[in-house]
Amino acid sequence: MDVLSIGETMVLFSPQTSGQLRYANDFSARIAGAETNTLIGLAKLGHQTSWISRVGDDELGAKIVSAVRGEGVDTTYVKQDKEASTGLFLKEKTNAQTSSIFYYRKDSAASKMTSEDMENIDVSHTKYLYLTGITPALSQSCEEAVFALLHKAKQEKVTIVFDPNIRKKLLDKTRGVEQIKRIIGLSDIVLPGKSEGDFLFDTTDAVAISKYCRDLGAEAVVVKLGEKGAYYANKDISGFVDAYAVPYVVDPVGAGDGFAAGLLSGLLDGLVWEDAVKRACAMGALVTQVDGDIEGLPIRKQLQEFMESNLQDDVNR
């Protein structure tokens, strides 16, 4: 297996019209989860990925597992919980520029994951363990599960990649910072953004964020800078990579997950750091061009065409 990850995926109900949610009548239903977004992005590029989670023994859980498996991600380690339901969330499009998210995930099936669930997980043939800061914030038992998996990966010398992916609605400021920093210290590669640097270290400076993460124990850091690209650093090299130009942003949600997929794909393909980060920036840019978390994730041919030219015809003929 190329990449293994653990996390909660929910069903997103999004209204077809803008305005307050109380006036919405028609909704689309999609799956959404940071970890599965990245795993699906990798699978679409031809990599082998596997997902650890729990879903409810309900129709939303069945929808999620069917969709994730259908995108080529292994779901062997996904359990059905007969007592807890699958989480869901709603998006409110207040106007063209502003949206709000309302979560219904308390006591969800995924939040019931435990360290005991990790006992039968085999990480010995996995190249990368990909984690986000969302999963350990779901519950005390999820935090214990993540650290159990982390220690397994450390024992097997699996490369650990961590995206803090901070959700302030889930994290207590003091305890959350301590938890995230602890995981950074156990990780090999860390992928923070500017806002996460501000939350964790009180700075939005990419070089400073990178130094803080490496001082905690991370070997390499890639700081996501949005429309300004990314900064990468390890003990040997560092540098900035420009972002890929896009006409406008349709939906920024999921861009960071696409970025992580691009970086991991580049590393799996043996690219040097600068080229792996370029692939990450391209993936992130492509995701912003489509409404939805996974709908904009490209196959390899689309990614290559996008990276080779900034002047694409509107229609491929």
As annotated, the active-site residues are 257
Taking the C-alpha atoms of residue 157 and residue 6, their distance in angstroms, rounded to an integer, is 18
How many residues are there in the chain?
A: 317
Paired with 6 in beta bridges are: 52
Residue written as tokens 């995924």?
110
Q: In what order do the strands lie in the sheet with 3-6?
A: 74-81, 49-56, 3-6, 128-132, 159-163, 189-190, 220-224, 230-233, 238-241
Taking the C-alpha atoms of residue 64 and residue 103, their distance in angstroms, rounded to an integer, is 16
Taking the C-alpha atoms of residue 127 and residue 5, their distance in angstroms, rounded to an integer, is 11
Phi-psi label, residue 19: left if phi above 0, alpha if psi -120 to 50, beta otherwise:
left
Taking the C-alpha atoms of residue 10 and residue 16, their distance in angstroms, rounded to an integer, is 19
Tokens of 197: 């640097």
